[in-house]
Structure 1
Amino acid sequence: MNLFSDIRALVIDSLNAMVAEGALPGGLDFANVTVEPPRDPLHGDMATNAAMVLAKPAGAKPRDIAEALAAKLSDDPRVSSAEVAGPGFLNLRLGNAVWQGLPKAILTSGMAYGKSAMGQGKKVNVEYVSANPTGPLHVGHTRGAVFGDALASLLDYAGYEVTREYYINDGGAQVDVLARSVYLRYLEAHGQDVAFVDGTYPGDYLIPVGEALKDKVGDAYVGQPEDVWLEEVRNFATDAMMMLIRADLGSLGVEMDKFFSEKSLYGTGLIESAIKDLDDKGLIYRGTLEPPKGKTPEDWEPREQTLFRSTAHGDDVDRPIQKSDGAWTYFAPDIAYHYDKVQRGYDLLIDVFGADHGGYVKRMKAAVSALSGGKTPLDIKLTQLVKLYKNGEPFKMSKRAGTFVTLSDVVAEVGPDVTRFVMLTRKNDAPLDFDFDKVLEQSKDNPVFYVQYAVARVNSVLRKATEAGVQVDDATLAGIDLSDMAHDSELAVARKLAEWPRLIEIAARTNEPHRVAFYLYELASDLHALYNKGNDVPELRFLQEGNTEASQAKIALARSVSVVISAGLGILGVTPVEEMR
């Protein structure tokens, strides 16, 4: 049930009736006709722009269309009033019976209320985290992991077929540095003194890896030149790091459907196939790039390279894919990886990158546009930095990691549920302050607590009702008569519940799961306001002493809130609490 879609369908039916009657000309496009909550709730329950968007193509005044449409809509029993405002907006008020029917619809549908078929089963690949396999995940990866995972769940809820994917960056020089670092720990495990130089990784997390390598090969690599052990140690270290990364993701409740290795692109013809595809389309050529901005001619040494004509697909400049010595640039395997995604038949690709990848967006979109012939959209979401605080001070780096705060540090401090919810309390491209003290406060200012408290509060009411002999299972509550539910505070909760299906479609269409977190906070706030008003208005209390049916009616509304919040928390990957402790 999507009340906004239902009323929009009513508006479209009314417009078609006006066409049939000759009040509107035929052939009008109704695609841009919307039904939304008005900016000011005092103006009504819903508003439609129908008259405004149809006036010009219809050759009529907006108010004339709006007044005729208002007359049509007023004939529907769901519409209590239809008023023309301003130049031609139409504000609608719905009868109480509409809002009184919502709890039954929600309790009957359960967690499926709000699920959408909008995605129509289209295949979406969401790639996120994709950290270099050189150490544990840090707090920046945490935000990307939470955002990507929640987005994948949101799209699944909206009717898409979603693949969660991790791209293992195991083809670059950083993996050789990892191997050398593990080798140092391996020597250390044999009792040797070592020094971490030349950018090697000094974190303590490599100590057990070096010891495990010793257990596996003994002293076979001690004193041996690099060409003897580098490849084997690189593979061993990468596998160990991916086990660590999988464990980190698991502690946050993140499970990937697919891990794709960059290394698998080399020596297999995959890069060559992708570049040939672009070459066949006339997009590969030999040329010399202009100097980068900020470079003077004295600083710049022009050289001929193999270039991708990315400007043909919206990029600012063409991009090198092969160096003058014949080696691939870092961009070439990324093109090949996305070529593989396109070949797998996805209808939409989404990449979640850190904020430092902002300059990479246009070239990657150009590549996917070229590879798919413009048929496969690529949406790149950038996650901004997270600043950690504790006791009013910046949270210090992990000694284990050596240089950064790890995902496991954060989860150990506050748990996975708090971590996930807080990471979604800001839009992905906005900086986020994560204060360990504030996210554990039990106050309205802490959205995690406030939303969880709403579920716990409803559960408490259900327990008390059961102890009082009131039957409060969902099937029973769904059959209760709610015709007496008419107080403004009760109707406000019902109106907010009606927004949930629409919110899901908007959030999925824009790839913005933070909208779910914002909505849950607003819904929880409405429930808490209703509960607190019962202190002054006894007839609003969820438990009406001596009146079972009245209690069940009040609880049906509250339980509906709990169902929607639980569904929303499920999308965010957060477990609803039974009670607050």
Structure 2
Amino acid sequence: MNVFSEIRGAVLAALDGMMQDGDLPAGLTLDAVAVEPPRDAAHGDMATNAAMVLAKPAGSPPRAIAEALAARLSDDPRIAEVQVAGPGFLNLSLSRDVWTGIVAHILSDPDFGRSDMGQGARVNVEFVSTNPTGPLHVGHVRGAVFGDALASLLDFAGWDVTREYYINDGGAQVDVLARSVYLRYLQAFGRDVDFPEGTYPGDYLVEVGQALKDKVGDIWLDRDEDVWLAELRQFATDAMMDLIRADLAALGVTMDRFFSEKSLYGSGRIEDALEALDEKGLIYRGTLEPPKGKLPEDWEPREQTLFRSTAHGDDVDRPVRKSDGGWTYFAPDIAYHYDKIERGFDQLIDVFGADHGGYVKRMKAAVSALSDGAVPLDVKLCQLVRLYKNGEPFKMSKRAGNFVTLRDVVDEVGPDVTRFTMLTRKNDAPLDFDFAKAVEQSKDNPVFYVQYAHARIRSVMRKVGDLQPATPALDDPAELAVARKLAEWPRLVEIAARTHEPHRIAFYLYDLASEFHTLWNRGNEDHGLRFVQEGDTEATAAKIGLPLAVSVVIAAGLRILGVTPAEEMR
């Protein structure tokens, strides 16, 4: 039940009737007609821009269209009042039966708000995808939470979602990891070692070095790296991926698929992807222009194999094969996305860190070229997270040697607080994570405020036991305000899914909790607004439907965010 969609349908039907009766020109396009909550609640329950967007194509004053439309809508029993405002906006007030009907519907439909907007289209959400060289750090937390919540949101809105992690195990950094593990392997035998600059000195490799000793014994002691490097690369990568999977599990993230970059090399898939581009005339030999600004001292023009990415919206063409014949880092990424397209996904979403901003256009160009524009790619960049405690920069244990780990953050405040807090800002805005505020029990802490609303409702339901809710009693403006906010949930889900913005769910839950707490506090002054009417079972049954409906929506929203709804607060 989406009351905004239903009322928009009534508006469109009225406009069709106006066209049929000659009050409007026939054939007007109505796609831009919207029905939305008004900016000011005093203006009614909904507002439509119909007259404003149709005035020019209809060649008629917007107020004249609005007045004619108002006359038709006033016959709809769901609409209690229609007002023409300003130059031609229409403000609609709905009947009380609509709001009681919404509450009753929520109680009968625990999936209230779930949408079929995605129509089962297959979407691949790739996120985290860090180098397998150590535990996840605080910067990865935000991308992991955002990607997982976005995947859940799209699933809730009707898409067939695959969560995917691209293991960047094809580059030189894995050789560095293997050498770093070898040093810890030597330490496991009591050797004194120094970690050269560029290696990974974190303590997390101590256990890996010991595990290697347990596996191979002393057969690699004092041996050249050409003996052990290849095997140790795989051993170290597997160990790091076990660590990363455990980190993700601590945050409540489970991937559907892990895809190895290394698996592309020697498989012919890189060559296949570039051949597909070559067949479209998009691969050529050429020399790139020097970089803008100050010219690097080591720069010299070299002929390379280039992808004509400018043909698909990029700023410059991109090298895919170096002058020495080796692949550039972009080539396997093209092949990886070609693999996704070949797997039949209808839409691709990549969640990258803020440092990948320069990568967006080239990747979009590659996907556009490979799919002939049929598969859209949306790249979402997650900005940095700054850690604070009581407003001061906060430094943690740094077990990793040079960064704060995901596990440090989760151990400090728990996965639920971590996840919700990471979604209190839009992904492309910097986020300040204050550990003290994240666990503070106040209205200023959205995590607590939303969870407290759910916990309060569960306490009410424990008090009433098996009592079943009756037809809701919505007599007070505060009760109606809660019902109006509940009615926005299906619309909000579709907007958040369409824009790929799961933070909208967190914002909505805070607003809903605020309306609920306002009603709760009103009950302290007006006993008639209390949900439990002592000694009056019938009145209580009429009151408990509204908070129960709120709990249904809050629980659904929190689950999209990957947060467990609180049964009680301690």
Does TM, scored on the shorter chain, surpass 0.5? yes
Residue 39 of structure 1: how far off its partner (Å): 1.3
Is the CA contact (8 Å cut-off) linking 2:250 and 2:407 kept in structure 1? yes
Alpha-carbon offset, residue 460 of structure 1 = 1.0
Given that residues 530 and 540 in structure 1 are in contact (C-alpha distance below 8 angstroms), is that contact kept between their aligned partners in structure 2?
yes
* Cα shift readout 1:548-572 (whole Å, capped 9, x = no counterpart): 1221222110111011000000000
Structure 1 residue aligned with 2:328: 329
Offset, 1:136: 0.3
Do the aligned partners of 1:397 and 1:403 also contact (CA within 8 Å) in 2? no
Q: Which amino acid aligns with 2:556?
A: A
Query: RMSD of the alignment, in Å?
Result: 1.2
Aligned residue pair count: 570
Post-superposition Cα deviations, 1:408-446, rounded to whole Å, max 9, x if no partner, equal 101111111111010001111111111111111111111
Match of 1:147 in 2: 146
Counterpart in the other structure of 1:245: 244
Q: How does 1:194-273 map to 2 (within 5 A)?
A: 194-273=193-272
Q: What's 1:97 paired with?
A: 97
Amino acid at match of 1:525: S
Query: Who is 2:563 aligned against?
Result: 574
Following the alignment from structure 1 to structure 2, what is the Cα–Cα distance between the partners of residues 347 and 454?
A: 38
Shift of 1:537: 1.4
Letter in 2 for 1:7: I
Aligned with 2:504 (options 502, 511, 515): 515
Q: Residues 47-66 of structure 1: matches in 2 within 5 Å?
A: 47-66=47-66
What residue identity is the alignment partner of 2:171? G
Report the secondary structure of 1:213's partner residue. helix
Change (3 A) 1:521 1:297: closer
Q: What's 1:71 paired with?
A: 71
CA deviation string 1:530-562 (max 9, x = no partner): 000111112111111222122122211011101
Structure 2 CA distance, aligned partners of 1:570 and 1:368?
32
Deviations 1:274-320 (CA, angstroms, capped at 9, x unpaired)? 11111111111111111111134976411111111111111111111
Tell me, in whole angstroms, the C-alpha distance in 1 between the residues paired with 2:115 and 2:391.
43
1:534 aligns with 2:523: yes
Which residue number in structure 2 is paired with residue 41 of structure 1? 41
Structure 2 unaligned spans of 5+: none
* CA drift at 1:364: 0.7
SS of residue in 1 equivalent to 2:109: helix
Distance 2:339 2:298 in 1: 38
What is the deviation of 1:267?
0.2
Contact 1:183 1:210 in 2 (8 A): yes
Q: Which moved more, 1:73-82 or 1:17-26?
A: 17-26
Q: What letter is aligned with 1:95?
A: S
Q: Which residue of structure 1 aligns with residue 471 of structure 2? A: 481
Residue in 2 that maps onto 1:113? 112
Q: Corresponding residue for 1:22?
A: 22
Deviation at 1:100, TM superposition (A): 1.4
CA distance in 2, matches of 1:498, 1:302: 62
What TM-score do the two structures reach when normalised by structure 2? 0.98
Structure 1 residues not aligned, in runs of 5+? none
CA distance in 2, matches of 1:391, 1:458: 31
Corresponding position of 2:293: 294
Contact 2:133 2:237 in 1 (8 A): yes
Question: What are the Cα deviations for residues 173-214 of structure 1, in whole angstroms up to 9, with x where unaligned?
Answer: 000000000000111111111110031100010011111111
Q: Please give the per-residue CA displacement for 1:496-525, whole angstroms capped at 9, x wherever unaligned.
A: 000000000000000000000000001001
1:534 counterpart SS class: helix
Q: How far apart in 2 are the matches of 1:486 and 1:187?
A: 76
Matches of 2:499 and 2:266, distance apart in 1: 38
Compared CA separation, residues 458 and 53, structure 1 to 2 (3 A): same
Deviation (angstroms), 1:169: 0.3
The alpha carbon displacement at 1:575 in A equals 0.4
Instruction: Give the fraction of aligned pairs with identical amino acids, expressed as a percent.
Output: 74
Question: 1:431-450 counterparts in 2 under 5 A?
Answer: 431-450=430-449
Shift of 1:57: 2.0
- Between the aligned partners of 1:451 and 1:134, the Cα distance in structure 2 is 37
Give the partner amino acid of 2:98: V
Runs of 4+ in 1 over 6 A off after TM superposition: none
Residue 137 (structure 2) aligns with:
138
**Per-residue Cα deviation, 1:128-149 (whole angstroms, up to 9, x for no partner):** 0001100000001011000000
